[in-house]
Structure 1
Amino acid sequence: MTGTPVPRFDHLLRMTDERGTFEHARLSEPRPEHGYCTDDMARVLVVASREREPAPAVQWLARLSLGFLSDAQAPDGSYRNRMDSAGRWIDEPTVEDCWGRSIWGLGTAARSELTGVRDSAIAQFELATQRRSPWPRAMAFAAVGAAELLGVVPGHPAAQRLLADYADAVVDVDVNPDWPWPEARLRYANAVLAEARTAAGHELGRPELLRRGLNMLAWLVEDQSAAGHLSPSPADGRGPGDERPAFDQQPIEVSTLADACARAADIDDGPIWTAGLSAAVAWFEGANDIGEPMWDPATGGGYDGLHADRVNRNQGAESTLAVLSTLQQARRFSAVSQ
């Protein structure tokens, strides 16, 4: 995976003030009036924590995002998701996706080179994992976070319990060989369902669950590919027989697929995983259904959506973080291969 671009944090830093990262942008300009969200700040913590020898600005992002998650966390471990531009929370704590993504961010931050970040992240993780969620993606993100923590603190009790509860709750029965997916339709952040099964199966020594996760991911990589490039399911999802390609395609689908392929490549030597990771990078660089780049390499800003006739060139937080995450994963394997 030679020649992978270097992740650039310029635009993410431009989108961030002393409270957090603004959720939306008009082109490259932040839109403070739309405020901040915990989903994004958990992703900021992920990409900031992955950086080796992080620059001072990236260290600041790690500490800022960790503080935001601490403020978002309720005493029972659940999370608020939305803060307005004045710094007021405007929703109630839940165990929906913001909870799961926060645990993902905190588990990843346990790998941080910054001691204060690492210790605080583990403490927040232990409080958050007192809860469980009925939502499949929330639990999948949380399971990935637990696997990240176990990678640096083997046997950590809270992480072990969460991962075991996740694994015990996963039920994949009567899989249709023509549609081997646990939902009637692909929805959003689809690959995290495969990644969580893969991670849980590997960490817990459950080969059937590991095999199920890898099989799901292999099918998804094939399903999301067309004419030699990625063609991800659109924002409205996709079911059997839906017309292809479909739009509006979102960068989060590509980055979630890249994360899952990177984890699979750490566990299994099948070439499909690094090929999927390379295709994810290529999608951002223009190997997609309309042949247009989906990021600004000068600033690291990610574009918000791919339509049949154009690119949505607004550079919101989610899209920018999707680019950063994908490039980080690809460069990790590039470094290994050199």
Structure 2
Amino acid sequence: MTASLSTIAPARIESAPAPMWTHLHRLSDDTGLFEHARNSIVRREHGYCVDDVGRGLLVVSREPAPDPGLLHLADVYLGYLNHAQAPDGRFRNRLSHGRVWSGEPDTGDWWGRALWGLGTAAACCEASWIREEALAAFEQGAGQRSEWPRAMAVAGLGAAEILRAHPGHPAAAALLADAAAAVGTPGPDPSWEWPDPVLTYANAALAEVVVAAGDLLGDPLLLGSGLRMLRWLIGAQTRADGRLSMIPVAGWRQGTPRGLFDQQPIEVAHLADACATAAEITGDDFFENALGACVAWFLGENDGEVVMYDPRSGGGYDGLTPIGPNRNQGAESTIAFIATMQHARALATRNAIRASGGAP
């Protein structure tokens, strides 16, 4: 499998487009980030959600040299999250285009994604005022816990970002430890190295938070468990020719046949994130090659042999179906494309430095 990954990844890294922001701007207004689009046309009737605004804040904050337009988006997204957050740190999720909230504050997946975005902004955004306000909002939410492991996992990824920027931060350390505990570690069966008998969504985020906790909290056994989970997940989703075949939206239960479609771009982005984290920690080319396969999935090296973004609009397609791409370009899929191309750019830069004889 390692050899197969290594044959497909390097060329695709070199040919990857730069992150494209046009469609993200199109989906955004002075309130937040619209969730859905038909083709590239915004569907305002579906309103906004914290899930996507948190993701939007994350990718904008990762940009090393954001232009004024991207800093404006960071301001808008952070303002939305501040408005969505209750005094106890929980979040409401959905806001209509008429600026009416639905539902009560809670700690579902959107709470975790808000903390992931806030933690990334607090650690990485080039604008000091964004970092300061994002840290305050993160700390307000970090005392909460969710009953849902995936919500805890993505919240823990935000805590990991805080710890990288602020080593020893007590609330972040506690949240990261609890997130890894909520995920668990794999059992002894080498054919299913995963804590649960079913894989559903955001699978790679579960492995990544265990890896991050093992690294940042100084627990080598936990780190080893997370890396073992991630290697197994990559292998389970890699074809013999090195292309990724993602676990579809219907999920996959141990001991049952696995479906092929529909595959979701957000799953590829989660895997790219996890591989980037593991590569940074271990220096293992296996994870860089797997990251390259994530990039290649968007560029056509997938089960449909189709490109999964629109180069004219800059939007990411919403899913890979048996008859090709779902050409709607919603926020989640567009952000997944942007995030993966950010990793491609970073990896290409590191490879160029290595080729010139410099330090990686």
Q: CA shift at 1:176, angstroms? A: 2.1
Q: CA shift at 1:170, angstroms? A: 4.7
Q: Is the 8 Å Cα contact of residues 26 and 42 (structure 2) preserved in structure 1?
A: yes
TM-score calculated relative to the size of structure 2: 0.91
Superposition pairs of residues 128-147 of structure 1, within 5 angstroms: 128-147=141-160
More deviation, 173-182/148-157: 173-182
The match for 1:316 among 330, 333, 345 is 330
Supply the distance in 2 between the matched residues of 1:120 and 1:315 (Cα, whole angstroms).
30
Query: Is residue 48 from structure 1 mapped to residue 55 from structure 2 by the alignment?
Result: no
Supply the distance in 2 between the matched residues of 1:7 and 1:54 (Cα, whole angstroms).
12
The aligned counterpart of 1:105 is: 117
More deviation, 1-10/31-40: 1-10
Query: Is residue 64 from structure 1 mapped to residue 80 from structure 2 by the alignment?
Result: no
The aligned counterpart of 1:175 is: 188
Residue deviations 1:69-101 (CA, integer Å, cap 9, x gap): 101101110111111111111111111111111
Distance change in 2, residues 1:272/1:96 (3 Å): same
Q: CA shift at 1:297, angstroms? A: 2.3
Matched pairs, number: 338
The RMSD of aligned alpha carbons is: 1.3
Superposition pairs of residues 195-274 of structure 1, within 5 angstroms: 195-226=208-239, 227-244=241-258, 246-274=260-288
More deviation, 165-174/92-101: 165-174
Residue deviations 1:4-27 (CA, integer Å, cap 9, x gap): 310010011111111111100100
Query: Is residue 94 from structure 1 mapped to residue 106 from structure 2 by the alignment?
Result: yes
Distance change in 2, residues 1:51/1:96 (3 Å): same
Residue deviations 1:245-270 (CA, integer Å, cap 9, x gap): 51011001100000000000110122
Supply the distance in 2 between the matched residues of 1:114 and 1:90 (Cα, whole angstroms).
31
- Aligned residue identity for 2:43: R
Supply the distance in 2 between the matched residues of 1:172 and 1:326 (Cα, whole angstroms).
26
Query: Is residue 30 from structure 1 mapped to residue 42 from structure 2 by the alignment?
Result: yes
Give the unaligned 5+ runs of structure 1.
none
The aligned counterpart of 2:198 is: 185
Q: CA shift at 1:169, angstroms? A: 4.5
Supply the distance in 2 between the matched residues of 1:333 and 1:173 (Cα, whole angstroms).
29
Supply the distance in 1 between the matched residues of 2:177 and 2:268 (Cα, whole angstroms).
28
Q: CA shift at 1:106, angstroms? A: 0.7
The match for 2:166 among 144, 149, 153 is 153
- Aligned residue identity for 1:282: A
Q: CA shift at 1:62, angstroms? A: 0.7
Distance change in 2, residues 1:318/1:49 (3 Å): same
Q: Is the 8 Å Cα contact of residues 231 and 245 (structure 1) preserved in structure 2?
A: no
- Aligned residue identity for 1:40: D
Query: Is residue 294 from structure 1 mapped to residue 308 from structure 2 by the alignment?
Result: yes
Q: Secondary structure at the match of 2:31?
A: coil
- Aligned residue identity for 2:253: G
The match for 2:175 among 162, 166, 170 is 162
Q: Secondary structure at the match of 1:234?
A: coil
Q: Is the 8 Å Cα contact of residues 78 and 94 (structure 1) preserved in structure 2?
A: yes
Q: Is the 8 Å Cα contact of residues 185 and 226 (structure 2) preserved in structure 1?
A: no
Q: Is the 8 Å Cα contact of residues 141 and 196 (structure 1) preserved in structure 2?
A: yes
Q: Is the 8 Å Cα contact of residues 7 and 324 (structure 1) preserved in structure 2?
A: yes
Q: Is the 8 Å Cα contact of residues 186 and 193 (structure 2) preserved in structure 1?
A: no
Q: Secondary structure at the match of 1:214?
A: helix
Supply the distance in 1 between the matched residues of 2:174 and 2:258 (Cα, whole angstroms).
41
Supply the distance in 1 between the matched residues of 2:45 and 2:182 (Cα, whole angstroms).
40
Q: CA shift at 1:154, angstroms? A: 1.3
More deviation, 170-179/291-300: 170-179
Q: CA shift at 1:240, angstroms? A: 3.1
Give the unaligned 5+ runs of structure 2.
1-12, 353-360
TM-score calculated relative to the size of structure 1: 0.97
Q: Secondary structure at the match of 1:311?
A: strand
The aligned counterpart of 2:296 is: 282
Residue deviations 1:33-68 (CA, integer Å, cap 9, x gap): 000100000000000000011011111111111111
Supply the distance in 2 between the matched residues of 1:72 and 1:246 (Cα, whole angstroms).
37
The match for 1:121 among 134, 140, 145 is 134
